[in-house]
Amino acid sequence: MGEAAGDKAMTEDDLFESEMAGVKPLRSEPRERLIRTPKTVSAEARREAAEGRQKATNPLVDEGVEPLDGWFVLNFKRPGIQNGVFKKLRMGRYDIDARLDLHRMTVKTARDEVMEFVRESMELGLRTVLILHGKGQQKIDQQRTAVIKGYVNRWLQDIEDVQAYHSAQPVHGGTGAVYVLLRKSAEKKRENRERFMKGRVPYDNR
């Protein structure tokens, strides 16, 4: 009986081998690795590439703007901004949600900081922020030395999300700082609508 079982097993093995005759196993090849040959890039090329990326993501200018007098009062609002809203901003009566200090920064660095600051503030749904730009170095023979202040005055007008701005009250930095009113985000508008409609009965015009 044992021999019969052994013969059967051998017969099955032989059958399997005969069926698999001529079949070639798939060759297992290692996954191809992507290898990038390093290129030698000059410092000038790297600088130009970096400047190109910055201009692509930041449209604000970094040259050609005249300095302002350190005591000059910044004052700007877009059409549609109510006088009462602008007055509250001017008087510093809105809570300051965030602030950015540009002291000791170069124009290029301040430019990027301002743009990123506004972007982040919009993403967080902030409405009123404060930017500290300083008054420059006051000199008797050259009063218009507030370089960063001049650029901030230009930049804020070029950023569409900025609805209005005004030099701050003395407690917040005076003419060395500026209150900025940002556009209300879509999320905040939705929250306000929900708050307004809460408890109200929908109008049925049938």
Spatial CA neighbour of 69 closest among 135, 132, 141, 152: 135
pLDDT for res 89: 98
Spatial CA neighbour of 181 closest among 170, 166, 199: 166
pLDDT for res 18: 61
**Which CATH number does the domain housing residue 101 bear?**
3.30.1370.110
- Each of the 206 residues of the chain gets a pLDDT tens digit; together they read 544 444 445 555 565 566 656 555 544 443 333 333 333 344 554 555 455 545 557 899 999 999 999 999 999 999 999 999 999 999 999 999 999 999 999 999 999 999 999 999 999 999 999 999 999 876 655 567 899 999 999 999 999 999 999 999 999 999 999 999 999 876 665 665 566 556 554 444 44
State how far the Cα of 118 lies from the Cα of 139, in Å rounded to an integer: 32
- With beta carbons less than 8 A apart as the criterion, state whether 133 and 68 touch: no
- Domain for residue 45, yes or no? no
- Domain for residue 42, yes or no? no
State how far the Cα of 196 lies from the Cα of 199, in Å rounded to an integer: 8
Residues 2, 5, 10: CA angle, nearest 5 degrees: 125
State how far the Cα of 40 lies from the Cα of 96, in Å rounded to an integer: 48
> What residue type is assigned to position 61 of the chain?
V
- Domain for residue 197, yes or no? no
Q: CB within 8 A of 186, min separation 6: which ones?
A: none
- Domain for residue 97, yes or no? yes
The range of the structural domain enclosing residue 82 comes to 60-184
Rounded alpha-carbon distances, angstroms, from residue 178 to 69, 134, 181:
14, 10, 10
The structural domain count of the chain equals 1
- Domain for residue 121, yes or no? yes
- Domain for residue 196, yes or no? no
- Domain for residue 7, yes or no? no
pLDDT for res 38: 34
What is the DSSP secondary-structure string of 107-138?
Answer: HHHHHHHHHHHHHHHHHTT--EEEEE------
- Domain for residue 18, yes or no? no
pLDDT for res 185: 73
